[in-house]
Amino acid sequence: MARISSKNKAIQIQTILDDLFPNPQIPLVHKDPYTLLIAVLLSAQCTDLRVNKITPELFKLADNPFDMMQIPVDVIQEIIKPCGLSGAKSKAISNLSKILVNEYNGMVPDGFEQLEALPGVGHKTASVVMCQAFGHPAFRVDTHIHRLARRWGLSNGKNVIQTEFDLKKIFLPEVWNKIHLQMIYYGRLYCPARSHNLENCKICQLYNPTNKN
């Protein structure tokens, strides 16, 4: 059997994902770039479901950087404690809110360099904000997408940085924003790290029939 190229494999995977998730929505509840930024920051080492349970209380108290910078850090920390890493996250939320007010007139900057310079904001968080809030092509690769890309033979990268580079080469920029969400949803429903059932996973039936990784 001839070996299928990565690009042809990507096209077939994209077809499956488009059929299952034609219009994927970001799972974090938000109303604007600022609330999205805070929600993504909170999602580090925490489930989206838990973040969505916490943010209504937080945003009721302050849903913009002007109000958030006035809230004591310990109050923020108490609210977000269920998300984990509450000490570091509460300080980051407070400090980045002050920076947004003092340097950007309260607006979330529309650029990777500016976003990644904010406290608590790394490349993955910046990627989500850039693509979901501002519509710029970005491919956020977290540990889950990294796992799927290796399982499906789209990348042999040893870390998320290399996997992001590989995926950006085989998928067109105009689908990056959509497909990273599709991969997240597919992985949760059909291709989990544990208790993976090959009979339910169309993609692994095609590209990982031995159920490795």
> Residues with catalytic annotation?
124, 142
Distance (Å, whole) CA 155 – CA 146? 8
Residues 83/51, Cβ–Cβ less than 8 Å: yes
Nearest to 132 by CA among 176, 80, 93, 72: 176
Distance (Å, whole) CA 206 – CA 190? 14
